[in-house]
Chains A and B, each alone.
Chain A
Amino acid sequence: MPLSVDDIVPKCREMRRDIIEMITAAGSGHPGGSLSAVELIAALYYRVMRHDPANPQWAARDRFILSKGHGCPTMYSAMARSGYFDPATLSSLRKMGSPLQGHPDRRFMPAVEASTGSLGNGLSIGIGIGHALKLDKTDARVWVMVGDGECQEGQIWEAAMYAGAHGLDNVTLIVDYNKKQLDDMVRNILPLDPLGGKFAAMNWHVMEIDGHNLHSVVEALEESRRIKGRPTAIIAHTITGKGVSFMENDPKWHGVAPTKDECTKALAEIGA
């Protein structure tokens, strides 16, 4: 059952707690880019995506590809909390034998639609799925999430040019534009702007939204369903580390796990 926006709000807090607890327990991971994607992934799993956790191989399901695979704690939380697997499994992130690999891995979790972690791959895979869905005459959609730094990969632009030229309207790309990458601010490494303009020039329908405003997020995702003849790119402006004050806007938290004390502090801030 799709949830109302109001009902997704507490789900976002739950996801943020899961993310902090999982990464703390694992002792490694990527909190910054996991927290920035919370509202985007929550809106997909709890409302917008057509999926059935009890039947993950359902042919008519929408497909979600987390191309920025390092943000997988967010997806794992959404999957567990929406019924794909027991939330108790979340604490096994990155541990030997866990289906929750450090980056998404279909071999261990077939409900994950793409094995990612080498940046730049997800949009092309999504396009292939989009083509196949059209060949099979299903109206299922493909939702691909990339990071902003990931848009420095050339393959993203090969894929963007292709999807635009072919008018693949069953593909929606969501850019988690949190302005940070591993080494520094994106603008200090290789600026992307005008990011939306680049996609628009390649025949994409482009929307720019506040990626933490659930109303905007849901509205944009649902609008993309209605766009015909063009793929949609949603440039979601987000904040790295969103929800934990000492992580927000600090590139340091791209790939560092919190200590136990930092975890306690973060959980207190996020609240119940």
Chain B
Amino acid sequence: MVREFTLGPATREAYAAALVELGRTNPNVVVIDADLSKSTYTAKFGKEFPDRFFNVGIAEANMVGIAGGLAHSGKIPFCSSFAAFMMCKAYDQIRIAVAYPKENVKIVTTHGGISLGEDGPSQMSIEDVALAATLPGFVVCVPADEAQTKDLVKRAAAHVGGVYIRAGRPKAPKIYDGGEFPFGKMRRLEDGKDLTIIANGLMVAEALKACDALRDDGIAARVLDGYSVKPLDVEAVERAAQETGALVVAEEHSRIGGLGAAVAQALAETTPAPMEQVAVQDTYAESATPAQLFEKYGLTWRHIVTAARKVLGRKGRRSGGDGAATATGPADAEPHPFEV
């Protein structure tokens, strides 16, 4: 039996709530949006602190440049739009006005991934984490739920330097009651010896469900929340490779350039181990409900279970042990949608 989660607020709602709290304690916090403040919810900050809120209109490039200028003069700008528009329309400005001069700007996007659903691929972002992570010096985080988002937003304000946080549109399963989520760490949510599942964002809940399903089959999965894509907790990855010998990485992002790619790099540089990815393949999605999209594009706990069995098979073959016998059959029963 897989567990069920209570739905909490969307991570974008948690972001806005954290912003208002920050605004009350830190007069240097300013917020900039590009005509999406009712969707990113930064309007809540604007309502309480109109002097420190700038809505630049539909002009993302100008918005990020202004954020750089505000930071240059000692403000702590939180700059928000949808992930797709922020990272794809204003990437040059993030590079030139923020990352390269090391300005203290926080880029917090919403509607990351494909879970925004019906609005379709022009609004979706499966590239943003890769784009953010490749900016020198940037911290890149993908929170799973309300409590984690709030903690990461407060950390972002306290951190001197560029930070990217990707929030989502839909209500998010509640994973945490609170807690500390330092940059560069992973949070262990389940322990197991057979394999490790690393996930972030909405995929954390799916990973925990997959862990339950695997447990029913006698497979013990370690589950790590990889909310900090950069810096990555390389030590946790290495320990997972050494202690469990196989990994599945799950994220609501392109399989290229995101958490999975970062983990694969860490494995290659430390303790190589078989790894499978549960992620959006090299394709754009379409309009549908989030649940339909997660099903079609391979982002449910069942896809994680499939990937787990597949990677256990590889682990078995690699070690010459008997793991393969228990692992290969079920994987064939439920082929990955993009391997058909």
Contact = CB atoms under 8 A, between A and B. Distances in A.
Interface stretch (A108-116, A201-209, A248-256): A108-116
B159 interface: no
Interface string A89-127: 000000000000000011100000111111011111111
A121 B74 contact: no
Interface residues of A, number: 31
Contacts of A136: 73-74
B61 A155 contact: yes
B101 A128 contact: no
B73 A129 contact: yes
Interface string B10-43: 0000000000000000000010000000000000
Given A107-B102, A116-B96, A131-B54, A159 B65 contact: yes
Interface residues of B, number: 31
A218 B64 CA distance: 32
Given A114-B101, A158-B59, A159-B62, A128 B69 contact: yes
A148 B240 CA distance: 56
Contact of A127 (B69, B74, B77, B96): B69
Nearest to B77: A128
A121 B66 contact: no
A132 B56 contact: no
A124 B73 contact: no
A133 B69 CA distance: 10
A154 interface: yes
A128 B68 CA distance: 7
Contacts of A130: 69
B interface secondary structure, majority: helix
Nearest to A69: B96
Interface in B80-98: 92-93, 95-97
A158 B56 CA distance: 9
B250 to A, nearest CB: 36
A113 B72 contact: yes
A159 B77 CA distance: 18
B70 interface: yes
Contact of B101 (A107, A124, A158): A107
Nearest to A65: B69
B28 to A, nearest CB: 9
A162 interface: yes
A158 B32 CA distance: 15
A135 interface: yes
A244 B75 CA distance: 44
Contact of B97 (A125, A132, A158, A162): A125
A118 B70 contact: no
Nearest to B57: A162
A139 to B, nearest CB: 14
Given A115-B96, A135-B52, A127 B101 contact: no
Residue of A116, A120, A128, A155 ringed by the most chain B CB atoms within 10 A = A128
B74 A123 contact: no
A125 B66 CA distance: 5
Contacts of B95: 118
Contacts of B100: 105, 107, 115
Nearest to A136: B73
A132 to B, nearest CB: 3
B51 interface: yes
Interface in A131-181: 131-133, 135-136, 154-155, 158-159, 161-162
Contacts of A162: 56-57, 59, 62, 66
23 contacts: A105-B100, A114-B97, A115-B100, A118-B95, A125-B65, A125-B66, A125-B72, A125-B97, A127-B65, A128-B69, A128-B72, A128-B73, A130-B69, A131-B70, A132-B72, A132-B74, A135-B51, A135-B52, A136-B73, A155-B62, A155-B65, A158-B57, A162-B62
Given A125-B69, A154-B61, 17 more contacts: A106-B101, A107-B101, A107-B102, A114-B101, A121-B65, A125-B97, A126-B69, A128-B66, A128-B67, A131-B54, A132-B70, A132-B73, A135-B30, A135-B75, A136-B74, A161-B57, A162-B56
